[in-house]
Every structure is written in structure tokens, then in C-alpha cells.
Chain A
């Protein structure tokens, strides 16, 4: 039987009536009406459903909601905020540098898988600020894109990495204004 379960999503505590084994994705999509994580394969193979759980990329389609109780879930919607907190920015940017870089590289086609692409890339860059192409390929290996956007995704992650490095050099004064330099990197 369903019971009330409390989960923290994008810094907000939600109480949802749910069976403990309900996949986190269903709760995010159906109860919280979030549009970032989405159903692709339902088998943790494609990565469309990815979210960050305590900062680590996690497949929400196979993660029971009970497994994230007491943890912090961040979806695509909460990514700029999560980034601002991580980098101690005084303002939350409109977009995470990865999101901006994907626009700059015009990497997206249908975009359905990009929720997971962005989440995974954000996870990677939070741990490895200047990844090699090999590290990027390895990290992104579990995210499938039928449109075949991979080469541009790799370029976008490299671009975001540069943007984040130059933002870091600017120190703690980093603000939303730094979205502009992001767009200019390597152009």
C-alpha cells in the first residue's frame, strides 16, 4: 500500500504518496511534474532519466524512491542552482555551463536524451574540471543518442570545461554575467 514518503528534490522537501519500490522517475514525472528526467528505456541503459543523487549521476528509472530518502536529488531543473551552490556563486545563473555550451555548439537535435547528457556532464565536470577527450568519452558512454549528436556533445563538454575554468579564475565574484564569456569561448 502507498504511504507518504519524503524526498528532497532540487532543495525542496516533498511528501508524496508512494509505494517504496516506485521508481524515482515516476514520482519526479508524475507527482512532481518535472520535465527534465524522462522515460527512455526504463532499464537504466539509455540515460534519459538521469538525476544527481548526492551529486552522483543516477538512473532514476531503476532507483526505487525509498533509496533516495534522506538524500538530495537534483534534476535538470535544479542544475543551475546546484552549480551555483557548488561554485559559491553569488547568483544562480540561468543555465549550467554545460547547458550553455550545448546551445553554443548547437549540439541538440530532438533533445530527448539530453537531460541525461547534461546531468552526466555536470557530474563529470564537478569531479574532473579538465577532462581529456578519453575521459569525456568514457563518462558519456552510457548515454545513448539516436540522433547521433555525440561529436558535438564532446565539443560542448570541452567548451563548458574551459568556461568553468575561466569562471573560476574570476574568483568568488562570479555572477550570472559569466554566461556571456561562456558563449564566447573558442569562438
Chain B
């Protein structure tokens, strides 16, 4: 298997497109392909590398022309379902349907830095920011709608991203979120001061929608860290001393016949700590570790 080019050779740019996957095991393919979102995935959203500014509403969500929203989440989907439940929280505050919200893969250039994903605490630690950002975006959208419809904010109601004057009815005027800001930036500071919905008004939070990560996981389309392939990528192997007690008893590499793998193209000793040997080769073949 020596000297073969990996079949899936992704240049870095392409790699980043699928590459929330690298960091988090979450594929962007489905979401981006099906929505055709204008977002240039992989490019830093703020124009500079690194997480976008958490003090900006645009860091947390985007409203698209088709009256859907992308919510940017700073946690890894490790099976806990937080990419679904955090979307529920955002949809609730925005008065959008679950079918109108989606998220993208975690990417340090694109998604906010919400800290590590650990101890089943994504909802506890992550939802306050997402909830209040969504509430603040809704407040801004209602202000825009108020100007557009010539009616005070107090008279506006929202259902599934459609803002209506007064009660929903045939004669009432309405405008969609998408029509108000579709794919434009809010350019609005995130202050965290917008009032959030009272729990008694919840329609989505507290329900159990189908998790958005499962279809890709059962079909083999989900990209785990182990699936990432880069051009010229090599495979490393660690050759360890034999036996469970070898480390405990201080086994050291006594000698190393590097010429024993010389016949395997591309294989070389990468590193030689005192207690193990790291090898690399162009493929995952066992020849090199066996030969040494």
C-alpha cells in the first residue's frame, strides 16, 4: 500500500468545508448542501482566524432569506444530543419551527467558543448565551417589523418566523424574518439584556424532537475524526514493549534496527522515546511495526 495517494484527498479548503468533522465529529455536508447557505464555510466569519466575537449577535445566529435560521453552537455532538436541544432553545426564543433551524459543524473559525464539551453540561453552560442571543435577535427583528408594518412592537405576534400585526387573520399585515433581514448581518452588539420567553409559553422546549445527528450516523455519512484525510497524510504506529507490566517495570528500547524497515517505501522511524518507538508510513500497513 506504499506510495498510494489517499483516495479522499482534500485540499485544506475542502477539508475545512467538511471539517467541522475533524474537530467535533459532525458533518457539514448535509446541512450546507441542503440549504445552500451563503456562508463560506471554512473562512473565518469575522475575517480573522479564530472564534468570532461573542459580543456580536451575528456570532450566534443568522437569518436566511428563506425564513430559516442557522444557529452557531460551540459544543461538540458527542452523542448527548446537544446540537438538537440547543436548537430547540433557539427556535423557542425566535418563535421558529424546528424545521426552520439548523446548525453547522463546530469550527474554531465559525462557531463561538463556548468552552469545552464535558460533564453533560452543554445545556447548563451553553444555553443561557444561545437563549438570550436568540431573544435579542427576535427583539431586533420585531423592531424592524414594527417600522416595516407601521405598527408598534406591542401589537406584533410571531409564529414560525412570520410577524403579524394583531391577531393572526386574513386581513392582517405580515412580514417574515427572512424578508426583514434575509442573509444580512445584524451588526448588533449582544448585550444579553433582551427579556426571554416565560417558561409557561414554551412550545418546543420540553418536547422530544428527533435528534438531528442520527440519520447520518446510521448511514455512514457522519464524519468522525478518524475519517479525516489530508493530502500526503501518513499513518503513525507506536511499537510498545510487550506485556502489561512492561512500563511498570521500566522497559526501555534497548536497540533499534532501523534498516529492518528500509525496504518499505515511505516507512520511517518518527520518534524514539525511551520506552516505545513511533513509526510512520504512507498507509496503515502492519509491515513496518512487524518488521521492527
Residues in A lying within 8 Å of B, measured CB to CB: 1-2, 16-19, 21-23, 26-27, 29-36, 38-39, 75-77, 95, 99, 102-103, 106, 108-112, 114-115, 118, 147
| B23 at the binding interface (Cβ < 8 Å) | no
Residue in B closest to A109 when the chains form the complex, CB atoms: B79
Is there an interface contact between B210 and A31, defined as CB atoms closer than 8 Å?
no
A102 contacts which chain B residues (CB < 8 A)? 214, 218
List 26 A-B residue pairs with CB atoms under 8 Å apart, sorted by A's residue number: A1-B263, A2-B1, A2-B2, A17-B3, A22-B284, A22-B285, A22-B286, A22-B287, A26-B286, A27-B1, A29-B284, A30-B283, A31-B7, A33-B8, A35-B220, A38-B226, A76-B219, A76-B220, A77-B219, A99-B218, A106-B214, A109-B80, A110-B25, A110-B78, A111-B218, A115-B220
Interface secondary structure of B, over-half rule: loop
A-facing residues in B59-81 (Cβ within 8 Å): 78-81
Cα of A110 to Cα of B216 in the assembled complex, Å: 11
B25 contacts which chain A residues (CB < 8 A)? 110
Is there an interface contact between A33 and B229, defined as CB atoms closer than 8 Å?
yes
Cα of A29 to Cα of B213 in the assembled complex, Å: 22
User: In the complex, how many angstroms separate the beta carbon of A123 from the nearest chain B beta carbon?
Assistant: 16
Cα of A12 to Cα of B269 in the assembled complex, Å: 36
| B186 at the binding interface (Cβ < 8 Å) | no
Chain B window 271-292, contacts with chain A (Cβ cutoff 8 Å), 1 for yes, 0 for no: 0000000000001111100000
A23 contacts which chain B residues (CB < 8 A)? 284, 286
Residues in B lying within 8 Å of A, measured CB to CB: 1-4, 6-8, 25, 78-81, 210-211, 213-215, 217-224, 226-227, 229, 235, 263, 283-287
Is there an interface contact between B286 and A95, defined as CB atoms closer than 8 Å?
no
A31 contacts which chain B residues (CB < 8 A)? 1, 4, 7, 283
Q: Top 4 closest A-B pairs, CB basis? A: A110-B79, A109-B79, A111-B217, A26-B284
Is there an interface contact between A30 and B219, defined as CB atoms closer than 8 Å?
no
Cα of A185 to Cα of B240 in the assembled complex, Å: 51
User: In the complex, how many angstroms separate the beta carbon of A166 from the nearest chain B beta carbon?
Assistant: 20
A95 contacts which chain B residues (CB < 8 A)? 218-219
Is there an interface contact between B6 and A33, defined as CB atoms closer than 8 Å?
yes
Residue in B closest to A149 when the chains form the complex, CB atoms: B79
User: In the complex, how many angstroms separate the beta carbon of A115 from the nearest chain B beta carbon?
Assistant: 7
B235 contacts which chain A residues (CB < 8 A)? 30
User: In the complex, how many angstroms separate the beta carbon of A21 from the nearest chain B beta carbon?
Assistant: 6
Partner pick for A29 among B3, B222, B226, B285, CB 8 A cutoff: B226
Residue in B closest to A111 when the chains form the complex, CB atoms: B217
Partner pick for A19 among B211, B214, B285, CB 8 A cutoff: B285
Residue in A closest to B211 when the chains form the complex, CB atoms: A106
A109 contacts which chain B residues (CB < 8 A)? 79-81
Is there an interface contact between B1 and A18, defined as CB atoms closer than 8 Å?
yes
Partner pick for B220 among A36, A108, A110, CB 8 A cutoff: A36
B227 contacts which chain A residues (CB < 8 A)? 29, 33, 35, 38
